[in-house]
């Protein structure tokens, strides 16, 4: 029973991290119809930056802020410099550009920081809570992870729902030509969308780094899980991405706990294949509504 | 106010517009008529900057806007209501309206003003625009264009797919806005009869060329022209 509770809580924590990655992917997909395969590498880079800032300042908060700031900047930069020129090219072009960026960033990180994994400090204790004499693995840092992701998702929801920037972002994403005809600076909205996405990804990087350790390729698995979660949620829907991520987090946690951790990456891909076979539009499709 | 001079636009390998010259004055409706593929939609897309012309100029209030960005053209007061009732279905009626006025918030009309013109929209303000009927969508996209208080209005086939009674209603509203707001209206229509019923002038396009530019009365009186190009 304790084992089940531990697995469930750990599923919620990893689900939260997947949710942040999935949100990053969904934001970009909605805005520019591109799967950002470089997302894992981008959040790897911002996490290295956070690590360097934490080491030199000794402050986790400043390091976290550095990750957010560099995420915003990196996202905007990638959209402006790499994606904008291929915006009107066939869809595959942008995908290849993203894969190219992934390769460049991974190699760059290897050259600058080396391939040896480094420790990354958690924000809070990773010693589990004692609840009524029972020791669980869920720790204060896990609470922090879940709360941060809930906050980010909440802020994004409020931004998109209730601000005029959000209205313009949605308009640009749903119908860029009509938005343009209404005076919306669509290009700028795409840049903002990429920046917000990369910021969300940067958060995921910092949150997951203490448990995966910092190395150029160590974020690939959460990129895959984030992608599966986004597809589960229908790729177009931010709430869908969050729910998809939670389901996936729980499923993978149970697989890891009861069937062995080696099976986890395969299980993620099995979930992806099954979802695509049974419900190609994801669990929360919005596309059918769009075609009316 | 809006002047097109020798506008020539290529659509892929096809020359969609050939030396089109039209001018539209404030408070008047100019109907652009012609069959499918005559170049009507391309004409509007060229004016609003969505498509770049191969030659010729577009000027608005004496200013050359031929190479201006789409968003900047709108911001100058030239509103384009695209074909297929370009409402954004995922947004609510009110969000669509608000979107129309974001670039000049200080002077833009409040949604309430638009609801006064189109009372049916008010009942549906919180609904996503996909739920609207065809006529309501057309009203929403015209209303949304009016939010920014434009000086000129480009309308692409507002009658498309609507019942005759609704078409008549929309047409009389368009004329009403031209008269009361002093709008320069360029109205592209396949439905020549209803467009000419409210127009001050009619321009007939055929294969991208202007083949007639006259008063509605004279266009309607020219039987050969009517048969050949307008299909009635």
What's the whole-number mean pLDDT along residues B207-214? Answer: 93
- The percentage of residues in chain B with a pLDDT greater than 70, rounded to a whole number, is 100
Inter-chain touch A177–B90, beta carbons under 8 Å: no
Q: Is the pLDDT of residue A291 over 60?
A: no
- For chain B, the domains span 2-230
Give the confidence band of A285 by pLDDT, cuts at 50, 70, 90.
low
Q: What is the pLDDT of residues A219-263, one digit of tens each?
A: 999 999 999 999 999 888 899 999 999 999 999 999 999 999 889
Which pLDDT does position A281 carry in this prediction?
82
User: What pLDDT is stored for residue B8 in this prediction?
Assistant: 95
The dihedrals phi and psi of B135, each to the nearest 5 degrees, come to -65, -40
What are the sequence ranges of the domains in chain A?
17-218
User: Residue A266's CB: how many other CB atoms inside 10 A?
Assistant: 10
Q: Which residues of B touch A186 (CB under 8 A)?
A: 71
Instruction: Please report which helix (H) or strand (E) contains residue A272, including its range.
Output: helix A264-278
Shortest CA distance from A184: residue in chain B:
B71
User: Is the Cβ pair B89, A174 closer than 8 Å?
Assistant: yes
Residue B78 has pLDDT above 80, yes or no: yes
User: Residue A288's pLDDT is what?
Assistant: 44
Average pLDDT over residues B132-158: 94
Distances (CA, A) of B13 to A274, B9, B16, B54, B206: 45, 10, 9, 12, 18
User: Is the CATH number of domain B2-230 2.30.22.10?
Assistant: no
Contact (Cβ atoms closer than 8 angstroms) between residue A192 and residue A169? yes
CA atoms of A176 and A194, how far apart (whole Å): 15
Partners of residue A180 in chain B, C-beta under 8 Å: 50, 70-71, 74
Reported as half-sphere exposure (CB side, CA atoms, 13 A), residue B62 has a value of: 0
Question: How confident is the model at residue A1, as a pLDDT?
Answer: 67
Q: What is the mean pLDDT of chain B?
A: 93
What are the CA-CA distances from residue A185 to residues A26, B73, B74 (Å)?
A: 21, 12, 11
Average pLDDT over residues B179-195: 94
DSSP A263: G
**Are the beta carbons of B130 and A289 separated by less than 8 Å?**
yes
Residue in chain A closest to B150 (alpha carbons) equals A182
Nearest-CB residue to B99 (from A171, A186, A292): A171
Residue among B70, B90, B130 whose CB faces A181 most closely: B70
* pLDDT recorded at residue A279: 84
Q: Could you give the ipTM of this predicted complex?
A: 0.92
Q: Closest Cα of chain A to B198: distance in Å?
A: 25
Percent of chain A past pLDDT 70, that is, above it, reads 97
Q: Which of residues 93-132 of B touch A (CB under 8 A)?
A: 95, 98-100, 102-104, 130
Give the pLDDT of residue B227.
Answer: 85
Q: In this predicted model, what pLDDT tens digit does every residue of A79-102 receive, in sequence order?
A: 999 999 998 888 889 999 999 999
Which helix (DSSP H) or strand (DSSP E) does residue A146 occupy? helix A140-162
**What is the reported pTM?**
0.90
Structure tokens given for B112: 């309430």
Mean pLDDT of the region B148-168: 93
Q: Is the pLDDT of residue A292 over 60?
A: no
Instruction: Categorize the per-residue pLDDT at B36 as very low, low, confident or very high, splitting at 50, 70 and 90.
Output: confident
H or E element: which one contains A18?
Answer: helix A2-32
């Amino acid at each position: 029973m304790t084992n089940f509770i531990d697995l469930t809580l750990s599923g919620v924590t990893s689900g939260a991290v997947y949710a942040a990655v999935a949100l990053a992917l969904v934001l970009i997909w909605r805005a520019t119809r591109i799967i950002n395969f470089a997302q894992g590498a981008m959040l790897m880079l911002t996490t290295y930056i956070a690590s360097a800032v934490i080491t030199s300042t000794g402050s986790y908060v400043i390091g976290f802020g550095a990750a957010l700031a560099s995420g915003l900047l990196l996202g905007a930069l990638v959209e402006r410099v790499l994606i904008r020129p291929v915006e009107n090219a066939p869809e595959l072009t942008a995908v290849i550009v993203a894969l190219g960026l992934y390769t460049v960033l991974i190699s760059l990180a290897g050259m600058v920081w080396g391939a040896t994994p480094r420790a990354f400090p958690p924000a809070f204790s990773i010693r589990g809570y004692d609840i009524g004499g029972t020791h669980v693995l869920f720790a204060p840092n896990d609470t922090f992870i879940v709360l941060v992701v809930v906050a980010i998702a909440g802020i994004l929801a409020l931004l998109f729902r209730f601000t005029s920037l959000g209205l313009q972002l949605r308009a640009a994403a749903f119908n860029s030509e009509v938005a343009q005809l209404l005076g919306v600076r669509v290009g700028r909205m795409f840049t903002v969308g990429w920046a917000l996405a990369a910021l969300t990804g940067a958060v995921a990087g910092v949150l997951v780094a203490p448990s995966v350790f910092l190395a150029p390729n160590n974020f690939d698995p959460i990129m895959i899980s984030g992608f599966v979660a986004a597809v589960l949620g229908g790729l177009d829907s931010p709430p869908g991405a969050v729910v998809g991520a939670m389901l996936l987090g729980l499923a993978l946690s149970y697989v890891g706990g009861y069937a062995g951790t080696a099976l986890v990456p395969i299980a993620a891909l099995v979930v992806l294949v099954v979802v695509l076979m049974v419900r190609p539009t994801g669990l929360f499709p919005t596309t059918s509504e769009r075609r009316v | 106010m809006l002047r097109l001079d020798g506008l020539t636009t290529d659509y892929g390998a096809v020359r969609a517009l050939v030396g089109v010259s039209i001018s539209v004055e404030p408070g008047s409706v100019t109907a652009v008529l012609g069959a499918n593929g005559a170049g009507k939609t391309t004409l509007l897309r060229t004016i609003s900057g969505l498509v770049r012309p191969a030659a010729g100029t577009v000027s608005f209030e004496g200013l050359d806007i031929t190479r201006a960005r789409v968003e900047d053209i709108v911001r100058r007061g030239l509103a384009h209501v695209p074909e297929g009732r370009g409402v954004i279905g995922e947004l609510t009626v009110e969000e669509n309206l608000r979107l129309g006025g974001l670039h000049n918030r200080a002077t833009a009309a409040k949604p309430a003003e638009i609801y006064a013109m189109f009372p049916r929209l008010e009942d549906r303000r919180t609904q996503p625009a996909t739920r609207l009927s065809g006529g309501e969508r057309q009203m929403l996209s015209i209303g949304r264009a009016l939010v920014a208080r434009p000086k000129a209005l480009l309308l692409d086939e507002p009658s498309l797919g609507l019942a005759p009674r609704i078409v008549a209603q929309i047409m009389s509203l368009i004329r009403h806005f031209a008269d009361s707001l002093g709008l320069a209206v360029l109205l592209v229509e396949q439905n020549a009869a209803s467009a000419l019923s409210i127009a001050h002038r009619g321009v007939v396009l055929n294969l991208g060329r202007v083949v007639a530019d006259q008063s509605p009365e004279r266009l309607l009186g020219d039987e050969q022209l009517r048969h050949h190009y307008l299909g009635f």
